[in-house]
Amino acid sequence: MERKLSQKRSQGELEESAGEMHLRLWSWRRERPEASFDEIMERVRQEREAMMRPFVEDLLAEAGEGEVEVSCPECGGCVENKGKKAKTVQHREGTVEVKREYYYCPSCKQGFFPPGSENGAE
Ligand SMILES: [Zn+2]
């Protein structure tokens, strides 16, 4: 239920920011009639990255949240949920801040993000 609402909200926001990006890119382009291919493509890349960032962060945060029972990947023991922890991740799609549930194993004295987060949050 909450996920659907959030998906709908983010769709509206994404459409709105795509419209704004379109305007910004055209006004930038009109001010730079001599812009090179590389300059234009770099500008597009930056704009796209900025537009997608909040959407990507929502997508990353929603994946499998609170649905799996988490145990320690080392000893299989019980772990403590330490709440959400933010981590900045560099990716080809740009730099994003990932907020995921973070766990701590008292036996191993180690903290970790649950499975599924390796690609983004490690
Ligand atoms: Zn452990």
Q: Rounded to the nearest whole angstrom, what is the distance from the C-alpha of residue 79 to the centroid of ligand 1?
A: 7
Q: pTM for the full model? A: 0.60
CA separation for the pair 30, 26 (Å, rounded)? 6
Q: Rounded to the nearest whole angstrom, what is the distance from the C-alpha of residue 60 to the centroid of ligand 1?
A: 25
CA separation for the pair 29, 42 (Å, rounded)? 12
User: Residues with Cβ < 8 Å from 84, sequence gap 6 or more?
Assistant: 99, 100, 101, 102
Give the pLDDT band of residue 115 (cuts 50, 70, 90): low
| pLDDT tens readout for residues 14-55 | 899 999 999 999 999 999 999 999 999 999 999 999 888 888
First to last CA, the chain: 29
Q: Rounded to the nearest whole angstrom, what is the distance from the C-alpha of residue 98 to the centroid of ligand 1?
A: 24
Domain ranges of the chain: 1-62, 70-122
Q: Rounded to the nearest whole angstrom, what is the distance from the C-alpha of residue 70 to the centroid of ligand 1?
A: 11
| pLDDT tens readout for residues 57-92 | 877 776 555 556 788 989 999 999 888 888 888 888
